[in-house]
A and B are shown apart, each in its own frame.
Chain A
């Protein structure tokens, strides 16, 4: 083969779906697949696997067979990626690109590096998959295709119309960011309209609001492709390259802990008033290190990755700003999936506690609240990374256990403002004494219940190990995380939830 032939074929492969299609994308401000790869990886670090891959049925029109695969570095660490090239046959799934994805997944898993999926695909390629011959030859043929054992982190971005495999890989991932205007769904709105005989709007079916607020499949939302890909880089910066190592340690930013002197002011004096726990989280963790996940889903719990003293932690906090912090079924799912993430990648968990309990009632039961509460509880008890709980204010009943009380954390600390009981004192006075506000003796009984809920008795029994002043919280957590560092396993947990389903 002459050099000319090589250069010509290479140029054709790099040209993707051709100049017209690429120009149309550029006009709309959307990156093409190779620009996305360039944005993801450190400059010049990408090495491609499968540049000359194509569909033998139509080699001239199938550059790369519509999916670009390879390896590069993100902040100096190796990672694998698959970028769907929508300009080539809608990045539809086919024989060659299926092999490319399989190869990248096998290499990343066996060599220990994260995988990034940049999603935008139309689904299975037609007519290749049609008929029994197409199905027999193409679909599946890989019994491990959708297995997640969480040996390496998976991160994905939904960057356009994503149906079929793009959707599957997004919901299988540990982190998924959706760009506004993109759609994540089982199949196209056109096909859905045919199936259910009514017009289906793509964004209403699978747009960013659906997945950020209703399904919880989106961990983050981005305005642009660039922002989405940058969020993947940020997410991976908190994680180890694989499950057998501890997360990377960073320098502590200047000013970290500067807000601790005034942290008590962030907690309202009146016990019935709400506040945004994220302000407390941001004051405690290293400056600008709180990376919130699923901010618009299950908002009564706030979850996110952060750093304390330069080390990655997962923060799971009740957020009284929403529903007073009463945990609903979405919050239980969010908490469980977050605990699975932290445990799988050796990230210690900090729980900040202020909740009146679980949201109860007819609707909650129909949403399978008992099952969801236990799923959350099982995840917490199977979690083998260090867990530290800090009770800021209320903790009642079963929620006390779900948030780490009753030996479900390695250490439980309480602020002096903590209230620990089986239920809110107002309800307790009604149930124990049959008194309601305004009744004779209600005030005395209520005062006694309140006093009994103070944290001193539980600390005296050593069911709470420490009572700390709010301004001591950051130093306490950093020091206690160091105490609980898993020295015998080099900071690596047991990963009992490695095979936990990615949606449940």
Chain B
């Protein structure tokens, strides 16, 4: 089991976290949704795995490339 970081591709604010710590998610599944440019932009986890922790909270601003969660696989 190795940990890896998931980053947001856009700057904006965290609108909704749609997964929970401990949850196992499939490759391609949405981890959270960032509001940016008046759009709801998903942070998609390409590799899948188990959510270890979130580094952001809802409504928090985020910058492009910022790590938003750590998963293990």
A and B interact physically:
yes
Q: What 1/0 mask marks residues of chain B from 29 to 61 whose CB sits below 8 Å from any chain A CB?
A: 000000011111110000000000000000000
Residues on A with beta carbons closer than 8 Å to the beta carbon of B41: 274, 322-324
Q: A274-B42, A363-B64 are in contact. Are A324 and B37 (CB under 8 A)?
A: yes
Q: Is the CB of A356 within 8 A of B42?
A: no
Query: How many A-B pairs with Cβ below 8 Å?
Result: 36
**B57 shortest CB reach to chain A, Å:** 21
Residue B10 at the A interface, CB < 8 A?
yes
Residue A272 at the B interface, CB < 8 A?
yes
Bound complex: CA A356 to CA B64 (Å): 18
Residues on A with beta carbons closer than 8 Å to the beta carbon of B42: 274, 321
A–B Cβ pairs within 8 angstroms, 29 of them:
A272-B38, A272-B39, A272-B40, A273-B39, A273-B40, A274-B40, A274-B42, A320-B39, A321-B42, A323-B9, A323-B10, A323-B36, A323-B37, A323-B41, A324-B10, A324-B36, A324-B38, A324-B39, A324-B41, A325-B39, A326-B37, A356-B38, A356-B39, A357-B37, A361-B11, A424-B37, A424-B38, A426-B38, A427-B38
Residues on B with beta carbons closer than 8 Å to the beta carbon of A326: 37
**A364 shortest CB reach to chain B, Å:** 10
Query: What does DSSP make chain A's interface, helix, strand, loop or mixed?
Result: loop
Residues on A with beta carbons closer than 8 Å to the beta carbon of B39: 272-274, 320, 324-325, 356
**A212 shortest CB reach to chain B, Å:** 13
Q: What 1/0 mask marks residues of chain A from 187 to 207 whose CB sits below 8 Å from any chain B CB?
A: 000000000000000000000
Point out which of A320, A324, A356 has the most chain B C-beta atoms below 10 A from its C-beta. Answer: A324
Q: Is the CB of B9 within 8 A of A322?
A: yes
Residues on B with beta carbons closer than 8 Å to the beta carbon of A426: 38
**B63 shortest CB reach to chain A, Å:** 10
A interface bracket (residues with beta carbon within 8 Å of B):
10 to 19
Name the residue on B nearest A320 (C-beta). B39
List A residues 273-313 near B (Cβ within 8 Å). Answer: 273-274
Residues on B with beta carbons closer than 8 Å to the beta carbon of A323: 9-10, 36-37, 41
Name the residue on A nearest B42 (C-beta). A274
**B52 shortest CB reach to chain A, Å:** 24
Residues on B with beta carbons closer than 8 Å to the beta carbon of A273: 39-40
Q: Which 5 A-B pairs have the closest CB atoms?
A: A324-B39, A356-B37, A324-B37, A323-B10, A272-B40
Bound complex: CA A274 to CA B37 (Å): 12
Residues on B with beta carbons closer than 8 Å to the beta carbon of A324: 10, 36-39, 41
Residues on B with beta carbons closer than 8 Å to the beta carbon of A272: 38-40
**B11 shortest CB reach to chain A, Å:** 8
Residues on B with beta carbons closer than 8 Å to the beta carbon of A322: 9, 41
Point out which of B9, B10, B39 has the most chain A C-beta atoms below 10 A from its C-beta. Answer: B39
**A218 shortest CB reach to chain B, Å:** 17
Bound complex: CA A125 to CA B71 (Å): 47
Bound complex: CA A363 to CA B10 (Å): 12
